Amino acid sequence: MTLPPSVTPAAKIAMDEIPVLQHPVAAAADLGMGTPSARTPSSTKRLSHVKERFIEALLFLAAFSSVAITVGIVGTLLYESSSFFTHVSLKEFLTGTLWTPLFASPRFGILPLVTGTLITTAVALAVALPIGTVVAIYLSEFAPSYVREIIKPALELLSAVPTVVYGYFALQFMSPLLQKVLPGLPTFNMLSAGVVMGIMIIPYVSSLSEDAMRAVPMSLREGAYAMGANRIITALKVVYPAALSGIVASYILAISRAIGETMIVAIAAGMQPNLTLDPREPAATITAFIVQVSLGDLPHGSIGYQSIFAAGVTLFIMTLIFNILGYILRKRFREVY
Amino acid sequence: MSDFKRIIAKRKRQDFVFNIVGIVCTLVGIATLGALLGDLLMDGLTRLNWTFLTSFPSRFAERAGILSSWVGTLLIMLVTAFAAVPLGVGAGIYLEEYARKNWLTNLIEINIANLAGVPSIIYGLMALGLLVYQFKLGQSVLTGGLTLAFLILPIVIVATREALRTIPQGIREAAYALGSTKWQVVRHHLLPYSLGGTMTGIIIALSRAIGETAPLITIGALTFIAFLPPLPLKTQPPFLSLEWLWSPFSVLPIQMFNWVSRPDQNFVVNAAGAGLVLIVVTLLLNAIAILIRYRVRKRIKW
């Protein structure tokens, strides 16, 4: 069969299938349904209908497995931490200022872990949000397209580097570097962990924000230029506000990443729960605590074992709030254009 | 008139200044990537040799190697790919091609968006409570592989859907017009044409799984493994053995974490060596993914 060169691959394959479709017997053989001679056209049709429904059911199950995973996560967290909360009151958990679940006289106040998490997150955001936003504006409004084509994937490599390697980098490179600027900084501190974490999440902010800004219609920019605005004024006063919900969604994704980040803080921020607001001090985050407990050999069902699930629930709820916020904002951002 | 010129000059200057600021900020990211690679190379390159790749971990830093951990990483990835690819691609096809707009589809979509934002360590807690203790799978290669498969499932689903979405509606209609059933359309047209995009997503997802440490530590993966899992091939029939699925394991990032937290500087050098192997594999996978994406984009013109 000779085809004109303009025929699409789909049409070409479809044309190849014509003879098959003209002969039901061959069609049955093609569908792999036993000896063709026993099949009449109508039973072939019925069988292929059954096969179609069966495949659809399989695909549905695959899609539904994601719901099963969520049920598994929520169920496990609730089940394991419910026995924790029969030993420890919610009030002590939320307001206690000491977290020593593995000591002889254990205390279960989650606050030191929460402050550790919030301080490292705040440091990371102080690095990632300004830099990420400027990079996004630069790539979307200033950079020539060939620069963008190279820089964007290169920056995305930042989020592809394994976090344990970042932990090494924070401890062996960033800490000594910061110690030169801030004498007296301990080797393990929240500052260097937070800074490295911030650099890691730059691409989350820059890529998504850039996508949002590029989705802003060109006519808005042209309007601003016609009024005599230069590029930077257009970017800050027209494009940035127009893309705001997408940009904020990227900020929220960054926050949720920073809260859940584990290995950098486990390696470089120290593992000692410490109720402080000073980023120069070492402290444990919620995630670092879970890692620390998992490294030891805790018996299944002990209070120490249950305490990591209680910490996990806290972490899950914190990230869930931000995820839902981000989801709503992304929905809105999609509807605008 | 001179006012006018001054204003123009000022605005041009503003643009110029921001251009510089933008380049500097972009370079911060690139420079960090460079510093990180340089740091690892300086510390770890001396340690990287054949003995390091073929030795078990040891109490003595000079004799310690990463044999059991890179074999572990390989086996875990095998399980992860076997579980995540069919589930993720299947789910993507269902949501993009089959799903009707109803509350159930909506639920699944919101659920996937949310799963993508769940911290990886939470997956580890789930696997610890559910797979290790409820389903009694133990702290095995199987548990580790499934945990990471759950973790990357949203990435595979989203990549599959995006690849399917780029195929014009006309292709589907042409195939239907010639009498294809839905599955024939998917099997003969949509899957082959979306293969590039899907492959890119799968490779990116696997490269992320290779570096994941926290969930595997949480399920209690041992850090000192001085043996290899049983071989998958046997000399007697049935020649294939799945015993390795039940074996305890170590992986590269866990081995690196173990070494980096020791005070002895010699072990830190080992950590850099392991990190170097890890980062080379990750960057290589990402480069392959970028290459596939680039070639697909260039080749396909609907």
Q: Which residue, among B11, B178, B270, B283, would best test binding to A if mutated, counting the most A CBs under 10 Å from its CB? A: B178
- On whether the CB atoms of residues B183 and A51 are closer than 8 A, the answer is yes
Nearest by CB to residue A65, choosing from B91, B95, B257, is B91
With beta carbons under 8 A apart, name residues in chain A contacting B155.
none
Number of Cβ pairs < 8 A linking chain A and chain B: 296
Q: How far is B236 from chain A (nearest CA, A)?
A: 33
- The alpha carbon of residue A314 and the mean position of all alpha carbons in its chain are separated, in whole angstroms, by 18
Beta carbons of B119 and A160 less than 8 Å apart = no
Beta carbons of B29 and A66 less than 8 Å apart = no
Nearest by CB to residue A263, choosing from B26, B86, B213, is B213
What integer pLDDT is reported at residue A202 of this predicted model?
94
**ipTM attached to this prediction:** 0.89
- Which residue in chain A is spatially nearest to B132 when comparing CA positions? A300
Q: Which CATH superfamily is domain A111-336 in?
A: MetI-like (1.10.3720.10)
Beta carbons of B286 and A287 less than 8 Å apart = no
With beta carbons under 8 A apart, name residues in chain B contacting A21.
178-179
A159-B214-B274 Cα angle (round to 5): 70
Beta carbons of A199 and B28 less than 8 Å apart = yes
- Residue-wise pLDDT tens digits, B178-234: 989 899 999 999 999 898 889 999 999 999 999 998 999 998 776 667 777 777 766
Average of per-residue pLDDT values in chain A: 83
With beta carbons under 8 A apart, name residues in chain B contacting A45.
none
Beta carbons of A294 and B39 less than 8 Å apart = no
What integer pLDDT is reported at residue A36 of this predicted model?
47
Average the pLDDT over B79-96 and give the result. Answer: 94
Q: Is B233 helix (H, G, I), strand (E, B) or coil?
A: strand
Domain ranges of chain A: 1-73, 111-336
What integer pLDDT is reported at residue B223 of this predicted model?
62
d(CA B95, CA A55): 13
With beta carbons under 8 A apart, name residues in chain A contacting B43.
172
With beta carbons under 8 A apart, name residues in chain B contacting A63.
90-91, 94-95, 99, 108, 157
Domain B67-229+242-299 architecture: Orthogonal Bundle (1.10)
What integer pLDDT is reported at residue B236 of this predicted model?
67
Beta carbons of A158 and B33 less than 8 Å apart = yes
With beta carbons under 8 A apart, name residues in chain B contacting A266.
214, 257
Q: How far is B142 from chain A (nearest CA, A)?
A: 16
With beta carbons under 8 A apart, name residues in chain A contacting B256.
164-165, 168
Do you know the residue count of chain A? 337
Beta carbons of B122 and A230 less than 8 Å apart = no
What integer pLDDT is reported at residue B300 of this predicted model?
66
Beta carbons of A291 and B174 less than 8 Å apart = no
- Provide the H-helix boundaries in A17-96: 18-22, 24-30, 41-87, 90-95
- Residue-wise pLDDT tens digits, A16-33: 444 444 444 444 444 444
Average of per-residue pLDDT values in chain B: 87
Beta carbons of A315 and B122 less than 8 Å apart = yes
- Which residue in chain B is spatially nearest to A131 when comparing CA positions? B25
With beta carbons under 8 A apart, name residues in chain B contacting A297.
220
pLDDT in tens, chain A (337 residues): 344 444 444 444 444 444 444 444 444 444 444 444 455 667 777 777 888 899 999 999 999 999 999 999 999 999 988 988 888 888 888 888 888 877 777 888 888 999 999 999 999 999 999 999 999 999 999 999 899 888 888 888 888 899 999 999 999 899 999 999 988 888 899 999 999 999 999 999 999 999 999 989 999 999 999 998 899 999 999 999 989 888 998 999 899 999 999 999 999 988 888 888 888 888 899 999 999 888 877 778 788 888 899 999 999 999 999 888 887 877 776 545 4
What integer pLDDT is reported at residue A177 of this predicted model?
92
What angle, 0 to 180 degrees and rounded to 10, lies between the N-to-C axes of helices A202-214 and A111-137?
A: 40
Beta carbons of B94 and A56 less than 8 Å apart = yes
- Residue-wise pLDDT tens digits, A128-163: 999 999 999 999 999 998 998 888 888 888 888 999
Domain ranges of chain B: 67-229+242-299
- Across-strand partners of A108? A99
What integer pLDDT is reported at residue A303 of this predicted model?
83
A305-309 contacts: CB < 8 A, separation 24 or more? A305/A80, A306/A80, A306/A81, A306/A83, A306/A84, A306/A87, A307/A84, A307/A101, A307/A108, A308/B125, A308/B218, A309/A76, A309/A77, A309/A80, A309/A81, A309/A84, A309/B125, A309/B129
